[in-house]
Amino acid sequence: MSVAAALLTLSISVASVPTAATVVQAPDSPVTIDRATVLSAVDGPPVLLYSATNATGDAIDEFTVMVFVFRQGTLKARQIAPGRRTLDAHGTKYSAMVLDGIPLEPTDLIVVGVNQAQRTGSDAWWRADLREAAEAAAAKAGKQ
């Protein structure tokens, strides 16, 4: 193994056990998050690794992912980032998002969903407000 490969392996070592993120979605969302996990790096910000699936028969040109961070039931941060481009009809892709809004604590609840999508060849965007669904998920998690 080369020195560069060894350094790369060390730099992406996970510092703790991966944490599952809670997924929310609008009922008519053309893109769904199938699973999402937060990985905490030894030296760097946490990263959300997720898989997104196009639930339609049309190709999706772009979509955005929204992440909410709740601490003790209170919304502390919200972050939006573009997802992978060109999601084929009924296709699934994996992607990642750096969570650098605030330093995460082990008890924080991470809630994720797709809040915008644009079909290929269209100027129109599908949009959803996920805040209410995220707050409901946080309230439910707080009762468990």
pLDDT tens for each residue of 8-19? 444 455 455 678
The 3 state secondary structure assigned to the chain is CCHHHHHHHHHCCECCCCEECEECCCCCCCEEEEEEEEECECCCCCEEEEEEEECCCCCEEEEEEEEEEEECCEEEEEEEEECCCCECCCCEEEEEEECCCCCCCCCCEEEEEEEEEEECCCCCCEECCCHHHHHHHHHHHHHC
- What CATH number is given for 14-143 in this structure? 2.60.40
pLDDT tens for each residue of 11-59? 455 455 678 899 999 999 999 999 999 998 778 899 999 999 999 999 9
Q: What is the pLDDT of residue 40?
A: 87
pLDDT tens for each residue of 61-118? 999 999 999 999 999 999 999 987 899 999 999 999 999 988 899 899 999 999 999 9
